[in-house]
Structure 1
């Protein structure tokens, strides 16, 4: 897919907080006074404080251009997390939405012989080969978000639960409509970029969750994770459906445009669920309009990716785990933010 692939939606101020929440595993949890002598397994699970300065490592970083809130939050989370470590030299390359330029940028990091690479590819399939070249050169790759199809191309993958996002949105909508006694609801779905596997996973999770309530998606249309595309797609759907019960919009960045179209049309007979967890979406939820919830997809994953790359490059594991090495994959949970819990999540929201 040679076209530019920019993307959406979640949580900026959580550079340290988000990574710390996911990987508190990197500090010791040993009890001060064990009741009895520890077994070999208990000893292995103890671990040490992995945040102490260790071997100096250079971590390369490549991601798409920050042309919307979620990607901007990815870069900020990674940069801020790296700055926390005196033993890390952070080496980002110029962000770009051009596939060939990103390949070239990653190749410069391979030539520089960095200790580890963190890569959020514009497209996992098209950057798979250059990631494989890095691993073949002995450089561990932490694959962020959009996955490389060849598992030999990365040491560890970390990302959000796209299927889980769809499930969470589907359960919120399905449960609410079922409680209201709606028998044949009109449910609309505004996707992100339809060709991306992550979008397909979100749609599949949404359909599977709705099915448990006896519901199905009435109409589905893809946008491009941008404000402009959100406005256009929402306008089309609003004109085509004179009565709507619920909308799931995959991405809170494009959701700005979706909400603008809804306001312009003067429609409020339905409720909407967003995706990713932007700060502006959470403020809309607080205000009590058609947007009632959003399901999270946190850019704090970038901070955690840097943290994992450091551990791998230094030959460390995650000290709350029994295993000696960092896991091969880590999937973040997708959480549902509503008016009842939005105050808890708002400090972590990224700005669209």
Structure 2
């Protein structure tokens, strides 16, 4: 079958599915960047040259994917684009066209318009603003170009063929469960929280999950401040918190990028009486956990591999493949990645895919 006929058939199927309406299927699953191919091939980690015949990684028709994400103004976002490019490079049948990262909604809309006009086979999009990007994503879908929505959801589920998400509420639950385990029945433990930007739903979800998990062991949040996901904001928020709270037993910081500033404030204050758990899962946080020389004892992962998984799913969609570990013959509508806690006991399992702050 020719590439042209394959692409046209795929686009007709996507457009028909959009018009007919699609029931949303939620699947809690994590796709992997690991290779199941030939261990003797050192140049790939899951790409086509190492794939067994008949596997999803076996080379197929060329797939042109447009990719757009916000500006890489902190480590996690930088890793989003880098990881997407690295996975695309593993496949000799994928051409990834990366738009320049932007925090201007109008610029990002124009990027997607360009991808549509160029006739790409699929679009992987981490929107700066999910609501604002919904109309242009719907336009792409109506023209038979599948959109893979990453991290920040659209207002209309029909604006994406697949949505790949982290688990913000689950991050809070994981952090709270870790605190409960470490408290070991001590209902007098003093718990503090340094959140991200309070106006964002993701921050609200993380805080709600944390509160809900703590309630299971009879604890609550005694002191809470909000920062802004930056090093400077983290240091300022932590300084204020430490001044207001003369005693802390456990501290959850939502974001490891702002955690660089949080740890600086803790060191400047000479405080070491508590245990801290971070958030997002940066490499420098994990190295600190490995070294065991600070109050930081754990972090909760919010995967920066979401766009990389989006690239893999886009390739499967265009080539008419499914997720090989599922019985279902179609790629699912939603993939939500897990939020595990990383400690000194399991840090080696996660550090290789961690992002640099």
**Given the two structures, how large is their TM-score scaled by the length of structure 1?**
0.84
**Structure 1 CA distance for aligned equivalents of residues 194 and 47 of structure 2:** 38
Question: Which segment is superposed worse, 195-204 or 63-72?
Answer: 195-204
Query: 1:302 pairs with 290, 303, 307, which one?
Result: 307
* 1:158-197 mapped onto 2 (5 Å cutoff): 158-177=164-183, 179=184, 181-197=185-201
| Maintained 8 Å contact 1:186/1:218 | yes
> How many matched pairs?
314
* 1:1-352 mapped onto 2 (5 Å cutoff): 18-20=32-34, 48-177=54-183, 179=184, 181-288=185-292, 289-352=294-357
| Structure 1 residue runs of 4 or more that deviate by more than 6 Å after TM superposition | 24-27
| Maintained 8 Å contact 1:165/1:297 | yes
| Maintained 8 Å contact 2:47/2:90 | no
The structure showing larger relative contact order (alpha-carbon pairs under 8 Å, at least 6 residues apart) is 1
- Where does the alignment leave 5 or more consecutive residues of structure 2 unmatched? 1-30, 37-44
**Structure 1 CA distance for aligned equivalents of residues 200 and 206 of structure 2:** 10
**Structure 1 CA distance for aligned equivalents of residues 168 and 345 of structure 2:** 23
| Maintained 8 Å contact 2:124/2:314 | yes
**Structure 2 CA distance for aligned equivalents of residues 26 and 80 of structure 1:** 10
Secondary structure in structure 2 of the residue aligned to 1:206: helix
**Structure 2 CA distance for aligned equivalents of residues 285 and 311 of structure 1:** 37
**Structure 2 CA distance for aligned equivalents of residues 222 and 48 of structure 1:** 50
Post-superposition Cα deviations, 1:303-347, rounded to whole Å, max 9, x if no partner, equal: 111000011112221122221110001111111111122233222
**Structure 2 CA distance for aligned equivalents of residues 130 and 196 of structure 1:** 23
| Maintained 8 Å contact 1:26/1:319 | no
- RMSD of equivalent CA atoms: 2.1
Post-superposition Cα deviations, 1:182-219, rounded to whole Å, max 9, x if no partner, equal: 33332111112222222222111111100000111123
| Maintained 8 Å contact 1:26/1:49 | no
Distance 1:235 1:18, change over 3 A: farther
